Amino acid sequence: MLSPLKSVLHDLKELLMLYENAVDATKEYQILRSQLEGLFQDLSSHFTGGASQVMTTSIQNLCGAIESELRQTYGSQDRNNIPRYLQAERGLSEIMECYLRIQSRLERLVLNVNLSIWAIVDEQEVEARLAKITPSMSASYNSAEAALVRRRECTPKTREQVLQDLETWKNNRNGEKICWMNGMAGTGKTTISTTVCSILEKRHELGASFLCSRLLPECRNVKLILPTLAYQLARFSIPF
């Protein structure tokens, strides 16, 4: 089994056991547990079938999101005190909310794994279709041409407030879907964007990037923006 996923499922199984040992399982929990077990079986059948597996960035992102949910739920708790914590109504409520969020992510994970296997079988056709998109490879924030157009990250300890504001915007699921940055040439828009892309890339959260530049024809052609983003998103997530 792929290492990040194996770690996630191990931690989730451990928390499930702690939950059951600490409290009498409710009807809602029994239903949810049955659904989770079904997802576990789906994943297990793929990883024990001998087929090659693809660890896409999207799958890594989902594993990280599930790990984050688990850490938020019991990461700050002494595991010896978890049973006592679960006796409280608040503890039960938080655990159930955590399970529901994890269930949603596991369903997406199963979809990713299913289509990853399909992509391996039909890899040549997929590559042919992606090639027809004709993306601008130079427009990616970390492309080979990045040095030519002087793309660089922010100097450490600078632009901290702007970067924090962008982080807050990204994490606000109920907020605006688009964040506009404006300013005169040379005020640092590209540098800030490059920094944000780099941060998200390290967390497996960057779906796609297109940084415009007047120095490169491929990076100033607006007709290439959507094809390039579509191409990168297809690389990021096989279901897409």
The pLDDT assigned to 47 comes to 56
d(CA 217, CA 230): 19
- Whether residue 160 is found in the same domain as residue 108: no
Long-range contacts of range 178-181, CB-CB < 8 Å, 24 or more positions apart? none
Same domain membership, residue 135 and residue 215: yes
Total number of domains in the chain: 2
Task: Tell me which of 104, 121, 138 is where a domain ends.
Answer: 121
Q: How far apart are CA 126 and CA 103, in angstroms?
A: 29
Show the tokens assigned to 47: 């990883």
Count other Cβ atoms within 10 Å, centred on residue 105. 19
Distance CA 44, CA 157 (A): 45
Most confident of 56-60, 68-72, 176-180: 176-180
25 with 56, same domain: the answer is yes
Q: Same domain for 166 and 218?
A: yes
Do 94 and 10 belong together in one domain? yes
Percent of the chain past pLDDT 70, that is, above it, reads 66
pLDDT band of residue 73 (cuts 50, 70, 90) is low
Report pLDDT for 169.
96
Q: Which of 121, 139, 165 is the last residue of a domain?
A: 121
Q: Which domain holds residue 39?
A: 3-121
Q: Could you tell me which of 163, 204, 208 has the C-alpha nearest to residue 68?
A: 204
Length of the chain measured in residues: 240
Residue 142 φ then ψ, to 5°: -115, 30
pLDDT of residue 1: 46
What's the pTM? 0.61
Same structural domain, 89 and 53: yes
Name the residue with higher pLDDT: 147 or 195.
195
Domain boundary among 121, 156, 173: 121
